[in-house]
Structure 1
Amino acid sequence: MRSQPFSIVDKAIIGFDKALRAVIPHSNPSTRPLPVSSDHLPELSIDEARHVAGLMRINHTGEVCAQGLYHGQALTAKNDMVREAMHHSAEEEIDHLVWCETRLQELSSHPSVFTPVWYGLSFGLGAAAGLISNEFSLGFVAETEAQVSEHLQDHIQQLPENDIRSKEILQQMDIEELQHRAAAIEHGGTPLAAPVRTTMRWMANQMKAVAYHL
């Protein structure tokens, strides 16, 4: 067990390492295997594989954004309880990041070329939310996870019928995103104003439109 607290330099190095791991594919170890019932890879047509890859690229981008959001909020959190909650959620989301990278690789595809941009924007939003208040920051997480759950469920419906592998991955991610939402509310997150929710949804839609192709 570490007897001395981390110095500012230590924290900066750790933070930089986490940021690099969020944006560099296959740089994170997964603590859990893919949540699939079979190792069989479904046979997909070229168009089906391209569509599934687009959906998984969006989901990977969402996980990159989650890392940026949580890291930014942890940086500016106003108490240790919230800071630790953000770190814990970010650690759990790493598995989602790895699962999406793995499925993209299986589909002979790749993450979004704008991954560093998505991370940077999300980090800034998270840091700004943390500066406003703990309640707003946690409410921001809760709303983000609710919207992520919505698009995961939409993607599950869009998958080819025989792509059980992608379906099982997205279903497990959805379960855990909703758990993170519940945890944020439990820690004191408050509902966001309608204009904020609408703006978040608009920004997410722009990101999804770009990440699907690039």
Structure 2
Amino acid sequence: MDWLITAFDKVLRVVTGVTPGTRPNPARQAQVSDLSETERRHSAGLMRVNHVGEVCAQALYDSQARFARTEALRRQFKEAGREEEDHLAWTAERLDELGSRTSLLNPLWYAGAYVTGALAAKAGDARSLGFVVETERQVEAHLAGHLKTLPESDHKSRAIVEQMRVDEVAHGASAQDLGAEAMPLPVRMAMRAMAKVMTTTAYYI
């Protein structure tokens, strides 16, 4: 029962965007610039997408840790999840600064990602790690794309996205070093398709 209460509390904090970070927000040292209304809305849309990505990351790492077959891998997933909590906090804070909100569909995103993570874990540790590697590879590419489209003057959002990109690359490398097995092409393609639906929807909702 204690585990269930703790898990429910975490899920509630994740989907409502009130999870605290442990590292300083990189945006706090960034230059403050005025944004036009169009720029503000675009930055908010992209940061909402990034926040949804972090909601999904929490669900994925929680489920993969729970169903991992070794204690060492369970610890690895939990540690990566704790680092991703910083991203969750930073993107939520930036959305608030931009006068916007997190996605209304966060409970749905979390539930879908949790099931996906559980399925990956059930396929075995090597496949579960391979899923992390492919996920982080796609996320890194997605963040690099955001750095190209974010307004040049939005230094705060850009600082957050750049630090997120660096962290995602490190998570993928760690999973690769632990013995990840490459995902089959159809799985990689399905992951890209699902990510496209999520990012397109979360930009607006």
TM bracket (short chain): over 0.9
**Equivalent pairs, count:** 205
1:48 maps to what in 2? Answer: 39
Which of 8, 12, 16 is the aligned partner of 1:16? 8
Inter-partner Cα distance in structure 1 for 2:63 and 2:197: 21
Q: CA deviation at 1:158?
A: 0.3
Post-superposition CA distance 1:30-69 (Å, at most 9, x none):
1112113636432111111000000000000000000010
Unaligned 5+ runs, structure 1: 1-8
Shift of 1:79: 1.0
Q: List aligned pairs for 1:54-203, cutoff 5 A.
A: 54-203=45-194
**Deviations along 1:3-52, whole A, 9 cap, x unmatched?**
xxxxxx333332222222211222x2211121136364321111110000
How far apart are the structure 2 equivalents of 1:180 and 1:40?
28
C-alpha distance in structure 2 between counterparts of 1:108 and 1:29, whole Å: 19
Percent identical: 44
User: 2-side partners of 1:161 and 1:11: how far apart?
Assistant: 45
The superposition leaves residues 64-92 of structure 1 with CA deviations (integer Å, 9 ceiling, x where unpaired) of 00001011111111111111111111100
TM-score normalised by L of structure 1? 0.92
Taking the aligned partners of 1:189 and 1:38, their CA distance within structure 2 comes to 36
- What is the identity, as a one-letter code, of the residue corresponding to 1:23? V
Contact 2:30-2:155 at 8 Å conserved across structures = no
Q: TM-score under structure 2 normalisation?
A: 0.96
The answer to whether residue 29 in structure 2 is matched with residue 38 in structure 1 is yes
Which consecutive unaligned segments of at least 5 residues does structure 2 have?
A: none
CA distance in 2, matches of 1:36, 1:100: 10
User: Alignment partner of 1:166: what SS?
Assistant: helix
